[in-house]
Structures are given as C-alpha cells and as structure tokens.
C-alpha cells in the first residue's frame, strides 16, 4: 500500500512536469511566431524602398544611353628604319675550286702530293707511265741528230755553190719534219704529267699508284681549292627571283665555328634549275682559311630591302574584313577617346613586323592591346 502511494506520487510529479514543459514550449512557439511576423514586416518595407529607388533611377536615366568603355593601350606612330631580310643556307667554296683531270689515259707510276698540301700553278701532282713515248723520243732524236748533221753539211755546200738546191731543200725539210715530230712527242710526254692548274690546296685525291687514270670529264683525280678568296654558293627559290640583286648587303655566319662576316651578293644567276626550281647566288668574302673547310654550311642573311623612314607595326594587331586589312586608331571626339577603323596597305613583313605603305601617318595613335570586341565607334579608356 505504501509502495502504491509512492508510485502515485511519482506519477503525479511526472504529470506536473510534462504539463509545465508543454506550457513552456507553447510560449516559446508564440514568441517565434511573433518574431517572424516582425521580420516579414521589415522585409516588405525594404522591398518597397528598393522599388521606389529603382523607379527614381530609371526615371533619371530616361533618354540617356549608358556608355561602355574598353580598356586599351595605344602607340603613337613615328618614322623608324625598317629592313627586310631573306635567310638561306649555302655552302663554303673557294673562289677557285678546280677538278683536275688527266689529259691522257695511263697508269699512275708516281704521286707527288697528299691531301692538304699547298701547291703552285703547273706543279706536277702525279706521273703517268710514259715509257712508250720516251722510247719513241729517243729513236726520234737519233734520227733528228742525223738529219741536223746532214742539213748542216748540205747548207755549207750550198753556201759554197757546191751541190744542188734540191739536196739542200730535202735535208732542210727532213730536219724540220723531225723537229715537229719531236715537239709533238714532247707535248704528249708532258700530257702524261698531271699538273695543278692553279695555286691552292689539295682537297681531294682520287687515284693511287698502279691505278689507271682515264681522261674522262666524269673522273677527276684531284681537286685543288684556292682559299685565299672565299665564296658562299646558295640555291634560292625562284619565288625570290625579283627580290635579290647583285650588291645586296648580307651577313654570313658559320654556326659550327662561331664566325660571322660581312659580305654582299656578287653574282645572281639568270638560270632557273628545272629540277628544284631554284637559281644560284654567290657571295665573296675574305678570311683566314685555316678554320674554314670546303662545303661547310653557312647561314646567309641578305638585306634585300631598307627604308629609313618607315611606319611599321606588329603584324598581330592587323585585322581584316571584306574590304581589306585595317587597324584601329584612337581619336578624340567630344572629349572622348573613340576607336576608328583605318584601312591600310602592307609592304614587306619580317620577324613579326610589317611595313605600312599607306593608310597611316606619323602621330596616329594605333590601338595595340585590348582589341577584342571593340568596333568602329567604341569608347576607349586608354591605359597610362
């Protein structure tokens, strides 16, 4: 019974607690509801104020178009030098570069020079077997000695009015005929010697002792190069046929030996190679030949055009439409900087720079950056 009363008391307390919590929760919800209503009222008031301000701004802007400005950079044009260059690769050669051929065919019995050796004009480079000719010469000289002796005797007798004129003339004719044969035979013997046609350096040897050397234009046995006067030989595309002329200034550089020389075009061929559609040019220069080798590759930069008072621009700021190439210039209109199209004519282009031949003047302010989206008449804000 006592336990039952305790339980009843506990239930009563719990019931009271639940009722108290419920009443508190209800009071709290009523406070939140009241707060929400107040905030909504404030929001409605703010929305009303925003609407009023927007209407006032709209009315104040009626009839006035809002201006849009583009941030750009400009360059004030000035006359300055413009040069156009043509870059090609060529090969080094001597001004005298001679392939040497035997004048007659024969077996090589002696070779007197080696590659790299300096030689003089008419110096003997190699000897071909001339034994047959030497034997003929010995026999001929024996006959010639007898003919000379007979001629001298007949001449003495004829001068003393002894003997006949016919005997004298026969002796003279025989002697002179043998002398001509001797001269021809000596020429043939001399042709069995291979000689250098110029002063220079032996750059190539294509024969050996015991080998038969043939007198064919396709079989050179030596190559002699005179490196006192050097030249560059280059093949140029026919597209530059009217762009390069004799006397054009040029720079020649050899990347492998880190050397550079000033030169000029000394020869322009008038012949177009039908195989590769190129023509040949030459450039002469002087140098110490010890560091340079025949057929060495050289970079040739030819200055084929110069204008000391040119207007030029970076090629990447030039645009085009159906009317042609144009740039934008900044002009003052009603105290505003405004973009205006200016159509131009282009000249030479080199290394990203183009010469402007017409359409622009010294002092024009050309827009160089910020070109995206601007049009003729766009308002500009020029960066300082």
Tens-digit pLDDT profile for residues 180-210: 999 999 999 999 999 999 998 898 999 999 9
Identify the band that residue 306 occupies on the pLDDT scale cut at 50, 70 and 90.
very high
Lowest-confidence range among 43-52, 303-312, 351-360? 43-52
Q: Tokens standing for 9?
A: 């008391």
Q: Give the mean pLDDT of the chain.
A: 86
Q: Tokens standing for 38?
A: 């107040």
Walk across the sheet containing 193-195 and list its strands: 193-195, 124-128, 106-111, 212-213
Topology given in CATH for the domain delimited by 69-83+309-382: 2.40.420
Give the Cα separation of 18 and 24 in Å (integer).
10
Lowest-confidence range among 8-17, 77-86, 296-305, 372-381? 8-17
* Res 2: pLDDT: 41
Q: Is 60 exceeded by the pLDDT of residue 371?
A: yes
Identify the band that residue 53 occupies on the pLDDT scale cut at 50, 70 and 90.
low
Mean pLDDT calculated for residue range 252-257: 90
* Res 4: pLDDT: 39
Q: Is 50 exceeded by the pLDDT of residue 5?
A: no
Q: Which residue has the higher pLDDT, 65 or 285?
A: 285
Give the Cα separation of 253 and 259 in Å (integer).
6
Mean pLDDT calculated for residue range 337-358: 95
Give the Cα separation of 367 and 384 in Å (integer).
13
* Res 1: pLDDT: 46
Mean pLDDT calculated for residue range 4-28: 51
Q: Is 90 exceeded by the pLDDT of residue 163?
A: no
In 245-333, DSSP assigns E strands to 249-254, 259-268, 278-285, 297-314, 319-321, 324-333
Q: Tokens standing for 73?
A: 């950079």
Identify the band that residue 72 occupies on the pLDDT scale cut at 50, 70 and 90.
very high
* Res 7: pLDDT: 45
In 145-268, DSSP assigns E strands to 193-195, 200-205, 212-213, 222-237, 249-254, 259-268
Question: Mind listing the pLDDT tens digit for each residue in 216-234?
Answer: 888 899 999 887 778 999 9
In contact, 213 and 207? CB cutoff 8 Å: yes
């Amino acid at each position: 019974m006592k336990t039952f009363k305790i339980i009843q008391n506990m239930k009563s307390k719990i019931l009271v607690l639940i009722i108290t919590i419920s009443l508190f929760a209800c009071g709290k919800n009523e406070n939140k509801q009241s707060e929400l209503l107040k905030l909504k009222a404030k929001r409605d008031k703010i929305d009303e104020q925003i609407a009023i301000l927007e209407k006032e701004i709209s009315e104040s802007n009626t009839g006035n178009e809002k201006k849009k400005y583009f941030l750009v950079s400009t360059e004030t044009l000035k006359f300055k030098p413009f040069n156009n260059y043509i870059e090609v690769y060529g090969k080094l050669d001597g001004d005298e570069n001679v392939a040497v051929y035997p004048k007659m065919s024969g077996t090589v019995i002696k070779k007197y020079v080696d590659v790299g050796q300096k030689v003089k004009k008419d110096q003997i480079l190699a000897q071909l077997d001339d034994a047959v000719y030497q034997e003929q010469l010995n026999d001929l000289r024996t006959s010639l000695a007898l003919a000379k002796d007979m001629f001298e005797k007949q001449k003495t007798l004829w001068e003393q009015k002894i003997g006949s004129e016919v005997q004298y003339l026969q002796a003279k004719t025989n002697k002179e005929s043998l002398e001509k044969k001797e001269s021809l035979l000596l020429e043939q013997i001399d042709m069995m010697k291979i000689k250098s046609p110029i002063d220079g350096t032996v750059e190539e040897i294509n024969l050996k002792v015991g080998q038969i050397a043939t007198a064919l234009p396709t079989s050179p046995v030596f190559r002699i190069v005179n490196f006192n006067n050097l030249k560059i030989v280059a093949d140029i595309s026919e597209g530059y046929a009217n762009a390069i002329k004799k006397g054009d200034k040029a720079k020649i550089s050899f990347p492998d030996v880190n050397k550079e020389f000033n030169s000029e075009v000394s020869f322009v061929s008038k012949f177009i190679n039908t195989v590769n559609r190129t023509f040949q040019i030459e450039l002469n220069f002087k140098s110490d030949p010890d560091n340079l080798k025949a057929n060495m590759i050289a970079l040739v930069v030819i200055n084929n055009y110069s204008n000391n008072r040119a207007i030029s621009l970076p090629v990447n700021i030039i645009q085009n439409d159906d009317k042609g190439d144009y740039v934008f210039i900044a002009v003052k209109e009603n105290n505003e900087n405004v973009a205006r199209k200016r159509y131009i004519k282009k000249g030479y282009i080199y290394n990203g720079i183009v010469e402007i031949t017409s359409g622009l003047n010294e002092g024009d302010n050309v827009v160089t950056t910020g070109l995206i989206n601007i049009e003729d008449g766009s308002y500009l804000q020029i960066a300082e």
